[in-house]
Amino acid sequence: MKTDSIFYRLFQEFPNIFFELIGNSPEIASNYQFSSVELKQTAFRIDGVFLPQTPEQPIYFVEVQFQEDSGIYSRLFSEINLYLRQNQPENNWLAVVIFPSRNIDTASTSHYSESFASGRATRIYLDELGEGTSLPIGVATIKLIVENQKKAIQSAKVLIARSNQEIDSVPQQQQLLQIIETILVYKFPRMNIEEIQEMFGLSELKQTRVYQQAFAEGEEKGKQEGRQEGRQEGRQEGKQEGIEEGERRGKLKTVPRFIALGLTIEEIARELDLTVEEVRKAAQESE
């Protein structure tokens, strides 16, 4: 499973999940921006950093480690020290390392024991978080990543039901459902996306009135924007092709919205009458 990309996507779209995971209030997330940081003139890149908006709040460095790595701590603390040297922030800092289980955490901490003892560095073992039903929905979604297939089936169904009950925003609900769907695709590699959607009731959710209304509103807005651009081009060129091209551009602008709502590339292409390649390219450009 491509765990790194799933975690960073979760933290990018739902930063409150990270703060719930480390035992802080989810409201703190509004004061942070999650990003990756390139360290100049080195081969290092810090993939997960929560950067605060004020100097009073700490910087959080996040590392997701799902394989044994004897150099994990030396690399992490080297990256942090390089970041501090290059950026000279006023903020204090904390490090969080996320493991699927304790037995993956095999690297020596002898050179960094003070950081762990002081709480500056923290380790989280996902399989020790407790039962998903007792966890916040975002943290329970993270735990879904490490559950076996049998348990994952039950947990995913509970999470999908909870998303309807606990998340009021339709776009946010669809973002979380898409992430759950992505996790399930990797956990059940022998099933295609349609089978997974059918198994977990995701296909029915996408047919609900609210979901369809959100899709229709996004599509119509994109078409209107495209028609306006196209008419302007058409008047300049005196050709119908300008309007048609503008409408196509308008459709392409709606692709990120529909991806956020949980549609697959193929579904978006079919609904918007575009090619799969056009949709995939528009999706990549929006990342």
Give the chain's domain count.
Answer: 2
Q: Which of 203, 224, 201 is nearest to 212 (CA)?
A: 203
One domain, residues 69 and 173: yes
Please tell me whether residues 177 and 225 are part of one structural domain. Answer: no
pLDDT at residue 77 greater than cutoff 60: yes
- pLDDT per position as a tens digit, 8-38: 888 988 999 999 999 999 999 999 999 888 7
Q: Does residue 214 belong to any structural domain of this protein? A: yes
Give me the residue label for tokens 């579904």: 267
Residue 84 and residue 173 share a domain: yes
What is the span of the domain harbouring residue 101?
A: 3-189
Q: Does the pTM exceed 0.85?
A: no
| 141 neighbors 167 (Cβ within 8 angstroms) | no
Confidence of residue 209 (pLDDT cuts 50, 70, 90): very low
> What three-state secondary structure class fits 107?
coil
Cβ atoms of residues 51 and 62 within 8 Å: no
> Quick one: 65 and 156 in the same domain?
yes
In a domain, 197, yes or no: no
Q: Which residues on adjacent β-strands are paired with residue 274?
A: none
Same domain, 35 and 63: yes
Residue, of 204 and 171, whose pLDDT is higher: 171
Going by pLDDT thresholds of 50, 70 and 90, the confidence category of residue 256 is confident
Assigned domain for 201 exists: no
Query: Are residues 35 and 142 part of one domain?
Result: yes
Tell me what pLDDT residue 210 has. Answer: 45
Q: Which residues contact 170 (CB under 8 A, 6 or more apart)?
A: 210, 211, 214, 261
Spatial distance between the Cα atoms of 174 and 184, rounded to a whole number of angstroms = 15
Give yes or no for a contact between 64 and 7, defined as CB atoms under 8 angstroms apart: yes
pLDDT category, 92, cuts 50, 70, 90?
very high
Distance separating alpha carbons of residues 29 and 26, to the nearest angstrom:
6
